[in-house]
């Protein structure tokens, strides 16, 4: 059975909460600064892998207000909470929430793929796709892009639950969790939001 749920794009007159180009220090977006951004990315990745929550917090400005409440929807989904997709009213995500739901926000399958991203190549060329990781009937990969002009970093975690031989009549379930970051005026990499599809 194919399971399709889309949290969709913002509707109505909602404004995109991503920072404008004018709000970003253009000096921080040059290729000469790519090694510094790559180093920040590696620090973030290491913090997740080593479960150093305090170090990971550096890449967040709390509280976070995510469009369509998708940060909370994603957490509830990963924690196995029923009706996770029904609560779309925006709710602030605090540093205390970050500590409590760290593993649900950054599941092991995401981190495993993140470790495969070549940070220097990502920030120098603006793109890096990991190879597929297949384990226990789960397929995962990350499509990473970095826009030099806007300072936006996107980590698109694609995951697929593959039916086993006994479920040959079932369809694979596909899901995308898109982590958005941007470079702030000080040249620091900061989390912005999560958008979901699948």
* pLDDT tens-digit readout, 89-115: 889 999 999 999 999 999 999 999 999
**Best CA proximity match to 198, nearest among 107, 70, 45:** 70
pLDDT digit string, tens, across residues 23-61? 344 444 444 565 599 999 999 999 999 999 999 999 999
Using 50, 70 and 90 to split pLDDT, how confident is the model at 151?
Answer: very high
Contact 92, 114 (CB under 8 A): no
Contacts of 186 (CB under 8 A, 6+ apart): 25, 28
Beta carbons within 10 angstroms of residue 31's beta carbon:
12
Domain layout of the chain by residue ranges:
24-197
Dist CA 24 CA 22 (whole Å) = 6
What is the DSSP-derived secondary structure letter of residue 24? Answer: S
Mean pLDDT, all residues of the chain: 84
């Amino acid at each position: 059975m194919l399971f399709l749920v889309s949290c969709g794009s913002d509707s109505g007159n909602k404004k995109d909460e991503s920072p404008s180009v004018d709000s970003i220090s253009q000096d921080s977006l040059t290729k000469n600064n790519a090694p510094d951004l790559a180093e920040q990315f590696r620090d973030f990745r290491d913090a997740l892998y080593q479960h150093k929550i305090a170090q990971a917090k550096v890449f967040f400005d709390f509280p976070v207000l995510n469009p369509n409440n998708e940060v909370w929807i994603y957490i509830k989904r990963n924690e196995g909470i029923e009706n996770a997709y029904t609560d779309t009213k925006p709710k602030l995500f605090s540093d205390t929430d970050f500590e409590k739901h760290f593993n649900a926000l950054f599941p092991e399958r995401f981190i495993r793929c993140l470790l495969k991203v070549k940070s220097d190549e990502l920030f120098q060329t603006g793109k890096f796709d990991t190879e597929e990781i297949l384990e226990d009937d789960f397929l995962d990969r990350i499509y990473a892009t970095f826009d030099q002009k806007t300072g936006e970093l996107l980590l698109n975690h694609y995951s697929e639950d593959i039916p086993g031989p006994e479920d040959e009549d079932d369809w694979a379930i596909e899901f995308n969790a898109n982590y958005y970051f941007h470079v702030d005026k000080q040249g620091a990499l900061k989390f912005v939001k999560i958008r979901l599809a699948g």
